[in-house]
Structure 1
Amino acid sequence: MPREQFQNLTEPMYYILISLLEERCGVDIMASVEELSKGRVKVGPGTLYALLGRFEKEEIIKETEVVGRKRSYIITEKGLVILRDEYERLIKLVRDGEFFLRGDNDGIWK
């Protein structure tokens, strides 16, 4: 069975989609990703625009405005589903880690 393209998001993908909960242009998306991740994730223009193109093609985001070369985007309903699914997947990973590393399972961090 082929793996769905956006089944698991990379950190840049995840933060880009979070930032697009509000309409933003590329420069604002890059700044938002850095702010949301507290500087841990930085997205350059090449990576950003490649991902925006893929997201738009798959209808995960949509273009909302074009002023000269400045383009703005926002997440779609499909994108929200993907973002929520990724959030739930990450929560499960953390819970599994807590159970095995800190929990009542003789975890190594007790």
Structure 2
Amino acid sequence: MISDKLKRSYVPMTESAFYILFSLQSPQHGYGIGQNVKSLTNDEVKIGPGTMYGSLSKMERDGLIQFVGEEEKRKIYVITELGKEILDIEIQRIARLYRNSRGE
């Protein structure tokens, strides 16, 4: 069960947080996440190092992601079940906004 405090902290989610969490559906390090986000958004969204590592630290503390190893001194993270639940809530929220904007 997701706590109300955690929901308030992440929903609605910032665009950067969304893409970071979305990118961690497979194990990735910060640089790889940044490259994935740039690719997904055709270079429209770029996440700076301060935002990236601050978000990763907070998400790890809150249990949304977990550290799974290191590759060439880069920490690798992956989304947890809790993170997947939060991401799903946000995706449903975005879908509802889209439906409502289309009058569906």
Q: Deviation string for 1:34-66 (max 9, x for gaps)? A: 111221110011110000000000000000002
- Tell me, yes or no, if structure 1 residue 29 matches structure 2 residue 37: no
Give the root-mean-square deviation of aligned CA atoms.
1.7
Mark the runs of 5 or more structure 2 residues left unpaired by the alignment. none
Instruction: State the 1:68 CA deviation.
Output: 5.6
Count of aligned pairs: 100
For the pair 1:51 / 2:51, whether they are aligned, the reply is: no
With CA pairs under 8 Å and 6+ residues apart, which has the higher RCO, 1 or 2? 2
Match of 1:41 in 2: 45
State the partner residue of 1:15.
19
SS at match of 1:41: coil
Q: What TM-score, normalized by structure 1, do the two folds share?
A: 0.84
Distance in 2 between the 1:18 and 1:50 partners? 16
Greater helix fraction, Structure 1 or Structure 2: 2
**Larger of the two Rg values belongs to structure:** 1
User: In the aligned structure 2, how far is the partner of 1:67 from the partner of 1:10?
Assistant: 28
Structure 1 outlier segments of 4+, above 3 Å: none
Conservation of the 8 A alpha-carbon contact between 1:60 and 1:79: yes
Gaps of 5+ in 1: 104-110
TM, length-normalised to structure 2: 0.88
Corresponding position: 1:95 with 2:95: no
Q: Percent identity?
A: 32
For residue 12 of structure 1, report the CA deviation from its aligned partner: 0.8
